[in-house]
Chain A
Amino acid sequence: MNPAATSWAFEAQDLERLDALLGAFLDGSQARCALLLDRTGRLLTAAGDDAGFDRVSFASLAAADFGASDQLARLLGEREFRSLYHQGENGSMYLVDVAGHAILAALFDARTTLGRVRLKTKAVVPEFASLFAQIAARDRTVGARLEAGWLTEVEDEIDRLFAE
């Protein structure tokens, strides 16, 4: 596995395109909220009404949940579980893999159905996947565009923040 596959540099236009896809998915699926996270648990973007829950925690837990399921699949001789579904009393959650790069999470309630959400993810996942493939193919060196002096200032802030 290539470690660089978990390193990303997103441009403004990447986010615009991810957001546009996510928005269209939300409309089509009638999900309450949709989030896009990477496989290491970082939130990339979100759309819809998230009812104020902690998105950073959500991303970390959902990626771990998905990663664990993936390993379970392998244990059972499946190549992978491509999706994960959790049903709640008032709301449900459907997670689907985006070509190993990301996870699309849809939170939905009785206004729609799992069938509809699943159908719409099937349609949108290839589009996300091709976008991620383009982003991944580009130069991802981070430092190049950080201003001179940035590093020293960050180091100073680290000293201030992590002090008794």
Chain B
Amino acid sequence: MSMINYASREINCKIVYYGPGLCGKTTNLEYVYNKVRPETRGKLISLATETERTLFFDFLPVDLGSIRGFNTRFHLYTVPGQVYYNASRRLILKGVDGVVFVADSQAERMDANYASMQNLYENLAEYGYDPRTLPMVIQYNKRDLANAVNLGELRAQLNPDSLADFEAVATKGMGVFDTLKAVSKLVIKSLG
């Protein structure tokens, strides 16, 4: 979970993008990397296969700067979505402060979305996290595609608890910052 360093006056929070394979997690981070002021972010590290599928994780540190003497930093991670990589996925969840669940809006990915959400809960439970208290938001990505399921159905399937949720087209950046703003505020609030 969070780390606060009263000596160097730093607060450090970990946000993980979770979701099925190819739903657009890496695309979210790439957009943030490209759009945020360069002096506020570090390197984007991607451990990926030759075909640009995430193999282990993507990592991007973003710095809010000093506020009332405390420097707040978010560490953004993505997990590999492919079912096969569960061991790596679980590892990346260690110490998570907030989750963005990225769903793929395409009709044929509904089962994969659902399975990935179950998998998230299982992996959180293994660490003893309570998914009901962990800051979490949902993003319905790929809203630009013709086979996208309507919003009501996505919500009914994936958001029974009415968490904050956002429609997105990550490739164009639509919804990417709104999602990140929402989860980072939830995380900050949870520190208090």
CB within 8 Å of B: which residues of A? 1-4, 6-12, 14-16, 38-42, 44, 54, 56-57, 60-61, 64, 67-68, 71, 142-143, 145-147, 149-151, 153-155, 157-159, 161-164
Whether A162 contacts B36 in the complex (CB less than 8 A), given A11-B7, A68-B88, comes out as: yes
- Judging by beta carbons under 8 Å apart, are B128 and A159 in contact? no
Query: Does B25 belong to the interface (CB within 8 Å)?
Result: no
Q: Chain A residues near B61 (CB, 8 Å)?
A: 56, 60
Task: Please report the C-alpha to C-alpha distance between residue A75 and residue B101 in the assembled complex, in whole angstroms.
Answer: 29
Q: Chain B residues near A147 (CB, 8 Å)?
A: 68-69
- Judging by beta carbons under 8 Å apart, are B42 and A151 in contact? no
- Judging by beta carbons under 8 Å apart, are B128 and A1 in contact? yes
Q: Which one of A6, A41, A158, A163 lies within 8 Å of B64 (CB-CB)?
A: A158
- Judging by beta carbons under 8 Å apart, are A42 and B75 in contact? yes
Q: Which one of A3, A16, A40 lies within 8 Å of B129 (CB-CB)?
A: A3
- Judging by beta carbons under 8 Å apart, are A151 and B189 in contact? yes
Closest approach, in angstroms, between the C-beta of A38 and any C-beta of chain B? Answer: 7
Task: Please report the C-alpha to C-alpha distance between residue A11 and residue B9 in the assembled complex, in whole angstroms.
Answer: 9
- Judging by beta carbons under 8 Å apart, are B128 and A150 in contact? no
- Judging by beta carbons under 8 Å apart, are B35 and A38 in contact? no
- Judging by beta carbons under 8 Å apart, are A150 and B70 in contact? yes
- Judging by beta carbons under 8 Å apart, are B11 and A142 in contact? yes
- Judging by beta carbons under 8 Å apart, are B95 and A39 in contact? yes
Task: Please report the C-alpha to C-alpha distance between residue A8 and residue B32 in the assembled complex, in whole angstroms.
Answer: 27
Residue total for B at the interface (Cβ-Cβ under 8 A): 53
Task: Please report the C-alpha to C-alpha distance between residue A106 and residue B124 in the assembled complex, in whole angstroms.
Answer: 32
**Ordered nearest first, which 4 A-B pairs have the shortest CB separation?**
A40-B95, A143-B192, A7-B1, A15-B7
Whether A10 contacts B59 in the complex (CB less than 8 A), given A71-B87, A142-B11, comes out as: no
Stretch at the interface among B111-119, B138-146, B179-187: B179-187
Task: Please report the C-alpha to C-alpha distance between residue A67 and residue B7 in the assembled complex, in whole angstroms.
Answer: 27
- Judging by beta carbons under 8 Å apart, are A1 and B7 in contact? no
Task: Please report the C-alpha to C-alpha distance between residue A147 and residue B67 in the assembled complex, in whole angstroms.
Answer: 10
Whether A164 contacts B173 in the complex (CB less than 8 A), given A3-B1, A153-B67, A153-B68, comes out as: yes
Closest approach, in angstroms, between the C-beta of A71 and any C-beta of chain B? Answer: 6
Q: Chain A residues near B191 (CB, 8 Å)?
A: 142-143, 146
Q: Which of B102-134 contact A (CB under 8 A)?
A: 126-129
Q: Which one of B3, B67, B173 lies within 8 Å of A150 (CB-CB)?
A: B67
Can you report 16 residue pairs joining A to B where beta carbons are below 8 Å apart? A1-B126, A7-B2, A9-B5, A41-B59, A41-B75, A57-B59, A60-B59, A64-B91, A142-B4, A146-B68, A149-B68, A153-B67, A157-B64, A158-B181, A158-B184, A163-B177
Q: Which one of A56, A67, A158, A161 lies within 8 Å of B42 (CB-CB)?
A: A56
Q: Chain A residues near B177 (CB, 8 Å)?
A: 162-164
Residue of B nearest to A143 (CB): B192
Q: Chain B residues near A157 (CB, 8 Å)?
A: 64-65, 67, 72
- Judging by beta carbons under 8 Å apart, are A146 and B192 in contact? yes
Query: Does B155 belong to the interface (CB within 8 Å)?
Result: no
Q: Chain A residues near B32 (CB, 8 Å)?
A: 162
Task: Please report the C-alpha to C-alpha distance between residue A151 and residue B191 in the assembled complex, in whole angstroms.
Answer: 10
Query: Does B84 belong to the interface (CB within 8 Å)?
Result: no
Residue of B nearest to A148 (CB): B68
